[in-house]
A and B are shown apart, each in its own frame.
Chain A
Amino acid sequence: MKTNDVIIQFTAKIVFFIIFFFSIHIFLAGHYTPGGGFVGGLLTSSAIVLLIITFDINTVRHILPINYTYFTAGGLLLALATAAFPMFVGKPFFTHFFDYFDLPLLGKQSLHTAMLFDTGVYLVVVGVTMTIIQTIGEDE
Chain B
Amino acid sequence: MLQVLYIFMPIVAALFVPLFYKRMKHIHTGWFVLAVPATLAIIYATYIAQVAKGEVFTAELPWIPSLDISVISYLDGLSLLFSLLITGIGSLVVLYSIFYLDKHKEKLHNFYVYLLLFMSAMLGVVQSDHLITLYFFWELTSISSFLLIGYWYTRDASRLGALKSMLITVGGGLMMLGGFVLLYLMGGTFSIRELITMAPNLAEHPLFTWSLLLLLLGAFTKSAQFPFYIWLPDAMEAPTPVSAYLHSATMVKAGIYLVARFTPIFAASELWVWLVTGVGILTLFWGSFFAVKQTDLKGILAFSTVSQLGLIMSLLGASAVAFHSNDSIDTIKYAAFAAIFHLINHATFKGSLFMIAGIVDHETGTRDIRKLGGLMSIMPISFTVAAIGSLSMAGLPPFNGFLSKEMFLTAMLALQNFEFFGFDTWGALFPIIAWIASIFTFIYSFYFVARTFMGNYKPEQLPHQPHEAPIGMLISPILLATCVIVIFFVPNFIGDTFVKPAVQAIQPFLYTTPQDVDIYVSAWHGHITPELLMTVGIIIVGVLLFVTLPKWQGLYRRFPQAFTLNNAYNKIMQGLDVGLNRLSQRFMTESMRHYLLYMFSGITIIVIGSLFLKDAFRIAWQETSPIRPYELILAVVLVIGTAIVILAKSRLTAIIGLGAVGYTVALFFVIFNAPDLALTQLVIETISVALFLMAFYHLPKLGKREERMKFQLNRAIISIAVGIMVTLVALSAHSQKLIPSISKYYEETVYSLAGGGNIVNVILVDYRGFDTLFEITVLGIAGMGILAMIKLRMNRKEKIHENK
Q: Which residues of A line the B interface, CB within 8 A? A: 26, 30-39, 42-43, 45-46, 49, 52-53, 69, 72-73, 75-76, 79-80, 83, 94, 96, 98, 110, 112, 114, 117-118, 120-121, 124-125, 127-129, 131-133, 135-137, 139
Contact = CB atoms under 8 A, between A and B. Distances in A.
A137 B694 contact: yes
10 contacts: A32-B758, A52-B690, A76-B780, A79-B772, A94-B769, A117-B772, A121-B764, A121-B776, A127-B783, A132-B787
A128 B773 CA distance: 14
A81 to B, nearest CB: 11
B777 interface: yes
Contacts of A26: 679
B684 interface: yes
Contacts of B694: 133, 136-137
Nearest to B765: A114
Contact of B690 (A76, A94, A133): A133
Q: SS class of chain A's interface: helix, strand, loop or mixed?
A: helix
A42 B684 contact: yes
Contact of B765 (A39, A73, A110, A118): A118
Interface string B655-699: 000000000000000000001100110011011001101110010
B782 interface: yes
Nearest to B755: A98
A36 B780 contact: no
A125 B765 contact: no
B760 A36 contact: yes
Q: Which of A38, A42, A96 has the most CB of B within 10 A?
A: A38
A45 B684 CA distance: 10
Q: Which of A52, A94, A135 has the most CB of B within 10 A?
A: A135
B576 interface: no
B756 A135 contact: no
B790 interface: yes
Contacts of A73: 780
Contacts, number: 142
B755 A80 contact: no
A136 B782 contact: no
A132 B776 contact: no
Interface in B761-782: 761-762, 764-766, 769-770, 772-773, 776-777, 779-780, 782
Contact of A139 (B698, B765, B769, B776): B698
B776 A136 contact: no
Given A26-B679, A36-B760, A117-B765, A131 B687 contact: no
Contacts of B790: 135-136, 139
Nearest to A130: B783
B470 interface: no
Contacts of A120: 776
A46 to B, nearest CB: 5
Nearest to A99: B755
B776 A39 contact: no
Q: Which of B693, B754, B772, B782 has the most CB of A within 10 A?
A: B772
B698 A35 contact: no
B762 A31 contact: yes
B756 A32 contact: yes
A122 B379 CA distance: 67
Q: Which of B691, B765, B780, B787 has the most CB of A within 10 A?
A: B765
Given A35-B679, A131-B784, A137-B694, 4 more contacts: A34-B760, A79-B776, A114-B755, A136-B694
A53 B758 contact: no
A128 B760 CA distance: 22
Contact of B679 (A31, A39, A49): A39
Contacts of A139: 698, 790
B791 interface: yes
B703 interface: no
Contacts of B227: none
A129 B687 contact: yes
Contacts of A35: 676, 679, 758, 761
A34 B756 CA distance: 11
Nearest to B776: A124
Task: Give 10 nearest A-B pairs by CB, closest first.
Answer: A32-B757, A128-B783, A98-B755, A36-B761, A34-B675, A42-B683, A124-B776, A114-B765, A31-B756, A30-B761
Interface string B12-55: 00000000000000000000000000000000000000000000
B786 interface: yes
A111 B801 CA distance: 53
A110 B750 CA distance: 14
A21 to B, nearest CB: 15
A127 B784 CA distance: 10
Given A37-B765, A42-B684, A131 B786 contact: yes
Contacts of B772: 79, 117, 121
B783 A121 contact: no
B780 A112 contact: no
A138 B218 CA distance: 52
Given A34-B758, A35-B676, A124-B776, A117 B687 contact: no
B776 A125 contact: yes
Contact of A72 (B679, B691, B780): B780
A117 B675 contact: no
Contacts of A42: 680, 683-684, 687
B61 to A, nearest CB: 14
A134 B787 CA distance: 9
Given A127-B783, A128-B782, A129-B687, A83 B773 contact: yes
A83 B762 CA distance: 15
B773 A33 contact: no
A80 B776 CA distance: 10
Contacts of B675: 34
B760 A76 contact: no
A114 B765 CA distance: 6
A67 to B, nearest CB: 11
Contacts of A43: 683
Contacts of B779: 124-125, 128
B414 to A, nearest CB: 56
A133 B754 CA distance: 35
Contacts of B773: 79-80, 83, 94
B572 to A, nearest CB: 40
Contact of B691 (A76, A125, A127, A136): A136
A63 B442 CA distance: 78
B13 to A, nearest CB: 22
A36 B758 contact: yes
Contacts of A112: 755-756
Contact of A39 (B676, B690, B691, B698): B676
Interface in B174-214: none
B786 A132 contact: yes
A72 B638 CA distance: 35
A120 B772 CA distance: 10
A114 B780 contact: no
Contacts of B761: 30-31, 34-36, 118
A57 to B, nearest CB: 9
Contacts of A36: 676, 758, 760-761, 764-765
Contacts of A94: 769-770, 773
